[in-house]
Amino acid sequence: MSNNSLGITERQYFTFAENEPMPLDSGESLGPITLAYETYGKLNADKSNAILICHALSGDAHAGGLTSEGKAGWWDDCVGPGKAFNTNKYFVICSNVIGGCQGSTGPGSIDPKTGKPYGLNFPVITVKDMVRAQRHLIDYLGIDKLLAIAGGSMGGMQVLQWTANYPERVRAALPLATTARHSPMLIAFSEVGRQAIYADPNWNKGDYYDGARPNTGLALARMIGHITYLSEESMHQKFGRRLEARERFGFDFETDFAVESYLHHNGSRFTERFDANTYLYVTKAMDYFDLANGNGSLSKAFAKCADIMYLVVSFTSDWLYPTYHSKEMVSALTGIGADVTYCNLQSTWGHDAFLLEVETMTQLISDFLGRVVEHHEILLP
């Protein structure tokens, strides 16, 4: 599907809060903070063509192109020349969230106070804290106003939080397959994932960086996640009741079904690139996410967002972030007079649809961005 037309992309680092730690929602503070980020395309003369892409739970700064090891970006289908986020036109930025494990400061980073990895001494962070750190990066890049911020799932939460907190820094926002408030079902799945990690003896209350890693627990958490990213229908299409490398049932506790094999494979592969403590911190941040909380209501949270153009997208088979979550968002946004385009797309792919419905998303996103450019008379390179 992807032609990796960006070629090999480079991870860059920005460090701040070295002298004065950044305050956090918890009341604690954090510093120094490093953000790993990548950029694609060229910033135009008046720095008005920048788009910030925010990643989901398991994502990182590598949204498009290839790493030097040849790994394609997590949204490479949509980021590149001629793609939805057309890097011939736009300067695209993606950074790993704080609390992350792909280059940004997180629980696996060295705590300057002790000289050892933070582990559970890392402060509990929120989506607002993630966004607060990203704002420092945008300041550093000299961008006064982002053309757009886009992201799906937890990326969409960051998008919403950005517009609520820094409305003057954003022209357009694309919250995709997301919610303004993490639901009890989402919290429940998060918590079971965390419990799977706690239960791994290697987890050792988060202090494992010099020993064996809690990979069994992390793989379990990931397997649970993978079920929720699909839909009943897409699982039928993808696996059905097909057996894996067996002609008939084994009548044992080895792998019988293809869907089991898929889960094992993805669970195990995840542990090669992800840190269990980051899984704890990032899911906790998602669970805490409720944009109305602290603002009185969703409308009040969006009170200063009337000048922002929104593209809200939900998917019919996404049972993790059902359509009505997006509709609540749209209702609050239209209520405050924002320019909102809302699409509830027919798809069988469940929550993963925002990554998989490439053709439709490309059309929708490029049209929307074109409209934003036209409305603000942005001069593209």
Which residues of the shown chain bind a second copy in the complex (CB under 8 A)? 25-28, 120, 123-124, 181-185, 187-189, 191-192, 194-196, 198-201, 216-217, 219-220, 223-224, 226-227, 230, 232, 235-236, 238-241, 249, 251-253, 256-260, 263-264, 267, 280, 284, 287-288, 290, 319, 322
The pair of structure tokens assigned to 257 is 């079904």
Looking at the Cβ atoms of 71 and 265, the one nearer to a second copy is 265
Looking at the Cβ atoms of 128 and 171, the one nearer to a second copy is 128
Would you call 210 a catalytic residue per the annotation? no
C-alpha separations of 256 from 236, 242, 247 in Å: 16, 9, 9
Looking at the Cβ atoms of 16 and 239, the one nearer to a second copy is 239
Q: Which of 64, 87, 61 is nearest to 7 (CA)?
A: 64
φ/ψ bin of 81: left (φ > 0), alpha (ψ from -120 to 50), beta (otherwise): beta
List the catalytic residue out of 55, 62, 226, 351.
351
Rounded to the nearest whole angstrom, what is the least distance from the CB of residue 288 to a second copy in the complex? 6
C-alpha span between 231 and 350 (Å, rounded): 5
Rounded to the nearest whole angstrom, what is the least distance from the CB of residue 234 to a second copy in the complex? 9
Looking at the Cβ atoms of 195 and 346, the one nearer to a second copy is 195
List the catalytic residue out of 104, 153, 314, 317.
153
Looking at the Cβ atoms of 43 and 235, the one nearer to a second copy is 235
Q: Which three-class secondary structure state does DSSP give residue 216? A: helix
What end-to-end distance do the CA atoms of the chain give, in Å?
Answer: 27
Would you call 351 a catalytic residue per the annotation? yes
Rounded to the nearest whole angstrom, what is the least distance from the CB of residue 218 to a second copy in the complex? 11
What is the torsional sign of CA 293, 221, 196, 104? negative
Report which secondary-structure segment, H or E, holds 221: helix 215-229
Rounded to the nearest whole angstrom, what is the least distance from the CB of residue 190 to a second copy in the complex? 9
Rounded to the nearest whole angstrom, what is the least distance from the CB of residue 77 to a second copy in the complex? 25
Buried b (16+ CB within 10 A) or exposed e, 334-358: eebebbbbbbbbebbbbbbbbbbbb
Residues catalogued as catalytic? 153, 318, 351
